[in-house]
Structure 1
Amino acid sequence: MLLCIGCICHGQNTAKKVPLTEIIVSIEKQFNVKFSYAVEDVANIAIEKPNTSFSLQETIDYLNSKTLLNFKALDNRYVTVSVINKTISVCGIVFSDEKKSPLIGGSVIVNGIGKSTVTDEKGKFQFQNIPINATLTISYLGFESRQFTANELFSAQNNCKEIVLSTKNEELNQVLIKTYLTSGLQKYLDGSTVLNTKKFGILPGLIDPDILQSIQALPGVESANESIANINVRGGTNDQNLVLWDNIKMYHSGHFFGLISAYNPNLTNKVVVSKNGTSAEYSDGVSSTINMQTKDVVNNVFSGGGGINLISADAFLEIPITKKLELHVSGRRSITDLFESPTYTKYFERSFQDTEINADSEQNDTSSDFYFYDYTAKLLFDLNEKHQFRANIIGINNALDYSERLTNSNETESKTSNLSQKNMGYGGNWKAQWNPKLSTNFITYFSQYNIDASDYRVETDQRLTEANEVLETGTKLNAHYKSSDNLNFLLGYQFNETGMLNQTTVSAPFYSSTKKDVLLNHALFSEVEYNKKNTYLRVGLRLNYFQKFEKFLVEPRINIRQKLSNQFALKLEGEFKNQSTTQIVDFEDDFLGVEKRRWVLVTDNEIPIATSKQGSFGVEFNQSQLNIEATGFYKIVDGITASNQGFYNNFQFKNAHGSYTAKGLEFLANKTARQYSAWVSYTFSTNNYEFDAFTPATFPNNVDIRHSMGLGLNYNIYKNLKIAVGGIWRNGLPYTKPVEGDETIQNGNTTMVNYDSPNSENLDNFMRLDASLNYNFNLSQFVKASLTAGVINVTNQDNVINRYYKVNPNDSNDAVQVDNKSLGLTPNISFRVNF
């Protein structure tokens, strides 16, 4: 079957063009001739009519000049039509609709053949030798996507077609910085950071666009213990981050107990990270909001890819079912139970140090087996242009089996322990565009989190079982009203029902404890968003009602950005937020020494609702792709408990309510160019607890990091070869040492460490240098491949990330120091293909 082709002449008025089939019929009548052609060869081609004064040969010459077809007169009666080429070269320049400025880093995909590219610094793209009937999709974050056939973009004069993308109606919050540290990282006007994983470039130490690792490059975002499951945003704990995956609230975020993100990035369209000034639509995360969204457009193109590294293998597919229905799936599984790589060894030692699994024993013969997997699926259905339906599922699983054989008196006894950690989520939404001004989005989800552990202790012949379960359902309705091009209103309602179970059972002596709690939460929220010329403003209000406690919480939000000149802008953000779920650290009943955290619900007495008040003010400078930001912040979080802070001091087993106050300054300077991006970031902050029931009442926070600095450089060595080098330096974490000369104390029949003043000492400074190298190449016309190598801690720096003490088992008057170390030199390599 011949391919359809055609031509559109650059700069002509398409209103005067008529279908080629009509022109052929007219010529046949005028000259009494017959055209011989395949219908599909001339379909969808439109040109201007030839001059009626032309002769037959002049008319044929005109048709040949205006199309990619070959018109040839066999005699005075018959004219044949054939295809000249099956492939053509096209190019275009993509502009924004407002200022007609070039859009850098826009995505251009040739549907169906696996070819894609991004626009350069002039907004230009081009393809060589693509099918003449191919369809190209051009998209850019915050703008409406457009599709063109290849013949629409073809120009016989080799001119590039100018393509204008319109700003999305529902999004006033436009992109402020298009390349932020690396390609794929962008910054919005409201201060939030957006990670587009498809366009993601390269960051030091990373072999894949790990979502939760990438955001740690931002100032004010730390991981005090080097774990992505423990991200500390402006001094907060990890459970104070609201993590959403396609509007589903997630209660688990890491594989390998925090060293690898549990979210597969291959189908992720964007990740929005907000530290302050959050939309009134969101609450329940007093430190930050991490909102992950997967691809949401029906492309009618079959595509996919897969990859493998020294830890895991993964694959993803985008499968068109009909023109209106599409399925996206992804899956990933560790290969560590099949192949123990050097990377796995480093991760295993880091994850399980100072646990029963790595405990030395002369009598015991132990072995362990650890693996993880995750998967996602999304069904996309477009009923029509105004109604879209989506349904998705995500599953995350970590499993650990630990066996122990004790040989005593020539008898061998074998026992097995296990740990399972899962998070399942189901969600759906219905987007409706009722008219050009009014749109709604109805969202519903279900999230289930489970930890199930069975720990058989051979020495005591005792079995300990643990269970922690979270069941949450949520419903949200958002109504957006676009009053004008500059003004948008949001009104919404949200309902959540959260249930939690905590269960402990001991076999000898027998003990059982089960606790269940349920909490219903209603919320009304409204906000107005305004963006015109130099001013961006978003003001919102959220009203929360906790049905169980009959309590109302009012949460105002504000986000203002005022541009003073072409270079300078001022930024003001503020918010009140609350949180009704938290994690407690259980030192007495841990899971094999690996996972000590359990999710619990607030009780309003023993565990109060956590509330935060935060304000920040900053100045921005942006000129010639040099971006400099300085932001001061002040945050108070009230309602924290001693049990969820993980104290290693005299407060370790005490219950009390308190607060912490974090204040400081964040600085970032980032210079981007065609070949490179370089940045330096610095954060100064103080973070102090206040517990009235403790003595002293005020002392440094466990994650009080006074000074933190990051450096990074991405460089394109060649077109397809990139390198990234970066380093982190920060103060060591606070810790508490025992009283010198009186290191232990007797409490009844129990000997305990006698700690000195809390968090009065600091570990040595933390320092790490990372590097990555990426090479992209084509395996075929339709298959792209990439090879990425990364090294974490290139210099093999010996960093202590936690220090505590325990009673010496051989001398009850002595305390033994225990140091937890960070990852040493850890290499990894990844190979990926995409089609």
Structure 2
Amino acid sequence: MKGNKYITILVFLFSLTCFAQQNKIALIAFIKATETKFDVKFSYANQDVEGVLITTPKTELDLNQTIDYLNSNTSLEFKSLDNRYVTVSNSIKKETICGYIFNAKDKQPLFGATISVVGKNTGVISDENGYFILENINKDNSINISYLGFKTQSLKAFSLLKQQGCNPIYLDESAETLNQIIITKFLTNGLKKLKDGSLILSTTNFGVLPGLTEPDVLQSIQVLPGIESSNESIANINVRGGTNDQNLMLWDGIKMYHSGHFFGLISAYNPNLTNQVIVTKNGTSSQYSDGVSSTINMLTKNELSGQFSGNVGANLISADAFFNIPITKKLELLISGRRAYTDAFKTPTYTNYFNRSFQDSDINTNQNIENSSTNSEFFFYDYSAKLLFDINSNHKFRANVIGIKNNLDYAETITDNNNQSNQKASVLSQDNLGFGANWDANWSSKFNTKLSAFYSQYNVNASDLRESTNQLLLQANEVLETGIKLASNYKLTNHLNLLNGYEFNEIGILNQTLVNAPAYERTKKDVLLKHAAFTEAEFNKNNTYFRLGVRANYFQKFDKLLIEPRLNIRQQLSTKFAIKLEGEFKNQSATQIVDFQDDFLGVENRRWILANNRSIPVSTSKQATFGINYKQNNFYVDVTGFYKHVNGITASNQGFHNNFQYINATGAYTANGIEFLINKTAKQYSAWISYTYSTNNYDFESFNPSTFPNNVDIRHSVSVAGNYSVLDNLELSVGANWHSGLPYTKPIEDNPTVQTGNDFFVNYDAPNAQQLPSFFRLDASLNYQPNWFNAVKTSIRIGVRNVTNQKNIINRYYKVNPDDNTNVIEINNTSLPITPNASLRISF
């Protein structure tokens, strides 16, 4: 029944696609009409003309003009033998097209413009002179030329044929944005830097990065200075010393509370539908709230293409598919889906990921129980869809949905002394479902509005039945949030925009724990309403760019008002040097607490909680950065100093593995440092080196000592990498990451445990006074694009993480030895061992 359901859906989608083409006629019908009109005979093979559509000419044509029209508007070759017979062949003639892309305003070349073949997922990037060349193109193909901040231009391939010369193509600036690109190829293809300092990752044209087989959204951004994962997990991305829950994650305006599959090792966001990712570390626009560390804004394709296209792919863990389906001229559907096949077939890549994810959980620790055996199955899937509806040229409606799921089934079997087996099953599921819609309206050439709304639901549920004690533990964490936002943009002058808006959010969080023996139940649900008004001015002229804004947030439950100024300034000092200044105040009301012992089978030990303005305050942050950058001949140097202070964190939010683990307290942390980056790009290669130095310290007044290093205090971090195009269709990438070890707390050497009543506890020394060994990982990737088929694009990628098989310790803690209460056991969590992966993708 399930298979029939999927077949019905596919047939329906195919029918919609056919309906979208109703403004055209079948080529065979056009040929029949031409034969009758001119008393000629066409000679063709039925399979060559079946299913081919053609637009009827708008004017009357004679026979020769009709044959020319057919040659120009189909991929078939029509040849007149005499006045009586016309042959039709499928010998598609491939052409070469070229051109130069310029800014229509100042006639400067545009480096990094995207030239793509509509419906073919084939394209190139213009070089520093604006030049591009595309080979093996059908002359009837449509070509789209796009560049961020400029209006997309569509042309027919035959108008760009190389034999006609490489003509200039001028793109007009878009009036919708002032925040222009200053670096068009940053580190690798598809990574660009804007004037406000934010980074844009374009997944469609993204190049290869070390160790990756796909443009994994949250893995890719870790190549940027100041962004890394202290334990190589996507679920723990640290931006300038912050925790993962301090990153605001948006997917087409939907706030997301979940980031990774495999409980953190793989991005939960399918890159095939995610078109662009904008990462902002500071100087955020006032229209965004939450996320006291950063904003990661994921955007999907937002313009109609009018062409059916898609791609399918698979790697050693999952398979996925994406389809772009035109329904009418004004309506289009984007759908994507991905599912792991790890519950049916286990690869070495899966085994390494599984062992890394569950090494410190009940899944592994219970395997040591005498006379017991365990079995576990894990899978994940995600899906997303977007409906694009252009009401008219001035009004656009968009609606989307995204679903993410991780599921773990764990069975434990214990054989007693009578040789009787008892099996108990445990289940862990993690879901995030989101809906969103927005309406863009251009009321005039100077004024436009955007009305958007979203609904986001996050659930993690666990059922843990322990055979040794016959105890059933049920746990649940649920987040429900709805939001609506109205923003208006008024173009005061060609260089100055004014943004104003209002936003309302309602968030509710539930935490529940149930135990059968002894009977215990605890359910807590909190709801918070927030109103916000924001305004900002954005100016860009000649060598000066600035964005000044302010946001007012009112928490209805607490009768609390927070005013947050935002600042972003960039001044070009010369053709080579520029300085930047950024600053912001932000707040966050939902955070995560960490319980390493009991939560959710020990796998997902983070649960969301809501501020109550007492024991859990609203977190607030202050950030400031100042930097200088140098740019000449695709050589780029950036030096940035930063300061960040976050107040209102809780001890339970930080995941302490020391004597502060069970203490309720609020405090703050302060991170400051310097980021240094050198990047050199050329047509065939790109190389970069980045270095970050930072100090990150806690301040908890109720602790002794009150000030000590942060759990994610990484003093030194270095990244070195390079990409090289060995051939036109073969690219190699190699890179290394090194950082100083994380801090940890060791027990007092002469007295490692302490007794309280009948219980023994680890007797810890000074908090975070020790340091783990340094972390080092060497990664490599290869991307090969064979020309196997004319109509499709094939990509084969191979990636290896931790090539040298380095055994990196990413976490160390201690627990009382159950066999000797006066001593402790040291537990070391390690990183991924050498882990290969490979992917095959076919685009059409």
Same fold (TM over 0.5): yes
Pick from 459, 476, 479 the counterpart of residue 488 of structure 2. 479
Q: Which residue of 1 aligns with 2:279?
A: 273
| SS at structure 1 position matched to 2:600 | coil
Query: For 1:152-191, what aligned pairs fall within 5 Å after superposition?
Result: 152-154=159-161, 158-191=164-197
Moved more, 753-762 or 743-752: 743-752
Q: Determine if the alignment matches structure 1 residue 321 to structure 2 residue 330.
A: no
| SS at structure 2 position matched to 1:777 | coil
Partners of 1:192 and 1:426 lie apart in 2 by 26
Q: Which residue of 1 aligns with 2:303?
A: 297
State the shift of 1:165 in Å. Answer: 1.1
State the shift of 1:21 in Å. Answer: 8.5
Partners of 2:261 and 2:762 lie apart in 1 by 33
**Using a 3 Å threshold, how does the CA distance of structure 1 residues 239 and 830 change in structure 2: closer, same or farther?**
same
Q: Which residue of 1 aligns with 2:583?
A: 574
Pick from 343, 346, 369 the counterpart of residue 337 of structure 1. 343
Partners of 1:207 and 1:129 lie apart in 2 by 26
- Matched-pair contact (CA < 8 Å) for 1:115–1:782: no
Q: Which residue of 2 aligns with 1:243?
A: 249
Q: Determine if the alignment matches structure 1 residue 509 to structure 2 residue 518.
A: yes
Partners of 1:384 and 1:567 lie apart in 2 by 43
**Using a 3 Å threshold, how does the CA distance of structure 1 residues 83 and 352 change in structure 2: closer, same or farther?**
closer
Q: Which residue of 2 aligns with 1:435?
A: 444
Q: Determine if the alignment matches structure 1 residue 498 to structure 2 residue 504.
A: no
**Using a 3 Å threshold, how does the CA distance of structure 1 residues 587 and 801 change in structure 2: closer, same or farther?**
closer
Q: Which residue of 1 aligns with 2:804?
A: 795
State the shift of 1:136 in Å. Answer: 1.8
State the shift of 1:69 in Å. Answer: 11
- Matched-pair contact (CA < 8 Å) for 2:400–2:435: yes
- Matched-pair contact (CA < 8 Å) for 2:719–2:735: yes
Q: Determine if the alignment matches structure 1 residue 141 to structure 2 residue 138.
A: no
| SS at structure 2 position matched to 1:591 | helix
**Using a 3 Å threshold, how does the CA distance of structure 1 residues 21 and 264 change in structure 2: closer, same or farther?**
closer
Q: Which amino acid aligns with 2:604?
A: E
- Matched-pair contact (CA < 8 Å) for 2:67–2:79: no
Query: For 1:204-603, what aligned pairs fall within 5 Å after superposition?
Result: 204-359=210-365, 360-410=368-418, 411-603=420-612
Structure 1: give runs of 5+ residues left out of the alignment. Answer: 5-19, 26-34, 46-67
Pick from 82, 90, 97 the counterpart of residue 97 of structure 2. 90
Could you tell me the percent identity over the aligned residues? 58
Partners of 1:292 and 1:231 lie apart in 2 by 16
TM-score of the pair, normalised by structure 2: 0.90
State the shift of 1:116 in Å. Answer: 3.1
CA RMSD of aligned residues (A): 2.5
Partners of 1:614 and 1:114 lie apart in 2 by 41
State the shift of 1:644 in Å. Answer: 0.4
Q: Which residue of 2 aligns with 1:746?
A: 755
| SS at structure 2 position matched to 1:578 | strand
Partners of 1:127 and 1:674 lie apart in 2 by 15
Q: Which amino acid aligns with 2:108?
A: S
Moved more, 275-284 or 132-141: 132-141
- Matched-pair contact (CA < 8 Å) for 1:235–1:662: yes
Q: Which amino acid aligns with 2:405?
A: N
Partners of 2:230 and 2:140 lie apart in 1 by 54
State the shift of 1:595 in Å. Answer: 1.2
| SS at structure 2 position matched to 1:725 | strand
Partners of 1:328 and 1:558 lie apart in 2 by 36
Partners of 1:117 and 1:817 lie apart in 2 by 53
Partners of 2:504 and 2:539 lie apart in 1 by 27
Moved more, 222-231 or 125-134: 125-134
**Using a 3 Å threshold, how does the CA distance of structure 1 residues 579 and 827 change in structure 2: closer, same or farther?**
same
State the shift of 1:449 in Å. Answer: 0.2
**Using a 3 Å threshold, how does the CA distance of structure 1 residues 96 and 508 change in structure 2: closer, same or farther?**
same
Partners of 1:173 and 1:378 lie apart in 2 by 26
Partners of 1:122 and 1:73 lie apart in 2 by 47
State the shift of 1:100 in Å. Answer: 2.0
Pick from 610, 623, 637 the counterpart of residue 614 of structure 1. 623
Q: Which residue of 1 aligns with 2:54?
A: none
Partners of 2:558 and 2:58 lie apart in 1 by 73
Partners of 1:127 and 1:632 lie apart in 2 by 42
State the shift of 1:112 in Å. Answer: 4.0
State the shift of 1:342 in Å. Answer: 1.0
Partners of 2:726 and 2:106 lie apart in 1 by 33
Partners of 2:80 and 2:837 lie apart in 1 by 58
Moved more, 338-347 or 598-607: 338-347
| SS at structure 2 position matched to 1:216 | helix
Q: Which amino acid aligns with 2:530?
A: N
Q: Which residue of 1 aligns with 2:709?
A: 700
- Matched-pair contact (CA < 8 Å) for 1:37–1:81: no
**Using a 3 Å threshold, how does the CA distance of structure 1 residues 554 and 457 change in structure 2: closer, same or farther?**
same
State the shift of 1:346 in Å. Answer: 0.8
Partners of 2:450 and 2:555 lie apart in 1 by 24
Q: Which amino acid aligns with 1:362?
A: E
TM-score of the pair, normalised by structure 1: 0.91
Partners of 1:141 and 1:548 lie apart in 2 by 42
Q: Flag the structure with larger Rg.
A: 1
State the shift of 1:675 in Å. Answer: 1.1
- Matched-pair contact (CA < 8 Å) for 2:120–2:793: no
Partners of 1:250 and 1:501 lie apart in 2 by 16
- Matched-pair contact (CA < 8 Å) for 1:41–1:83: no
CA offsets, 1:3-23, max 9 Å, x none?
99xxxxxxxxxxxxxxx988x
- Matched-pair contact (CA < 8 Å) for 2:250–2:256: yes
State the shift of 1:747 in Å. Answer: 2.4
State the shift of 1:138 in Å. Answer: 1.4
Partners of 2:189 and 2:482 lie apart in 1 by 36
- Matched-pair contact (CA < 8 Å) for 1:21–1:43: no
Q: Which residue of 2 aligns with 1:728?
A: 737
Pick from 108, 112, 117 the counterpart of residue 115 of structure 2. 108
| SS at structure 2 position matched to 1:258 | coil
How many residues are matched?
A: 786
Partners of 1:748 and 1:257 lie apart in 2 by 37
State the shift of 1:363 in Å. Answer: 1.8
**Using a 3 Å threshold, how does the CA distance of structure 1 residues 298 and 655 change in structure 2: closer, same or farther?**
same
Q: Which residue of 2 aligns with 1:807?
A: 816
State the shift of 1:96 in Å. Answer: 1.9
**Using a 3 Å threshold, how does the CA distance of structure 1 residues 126 and 729 change in structure 2: closer, same or farther?**
closer
Q: Which residue of 2 aligns with 1:123?
A: 130
Partners of 2:91 and 2:761 lie apart in 1 by 84
State the shift of 1:170 in Å. Answer: 1.1
Structure 2: give runs of 5+ residues left out of the alignment. Answer: 1-26, 32-56
State the shift of 1:339 in Å. Answer: 1.6
- Matched-pair contact (CA < 8 Å) for 1:21–1:42: no
Q: Which residue of 2 aligns with 1:773?
A: 782
**Using a 3 Å threshold, how does the CA distance of structure 1 residues 97 and 820 change in structure 2: closer, same or farther?**
same
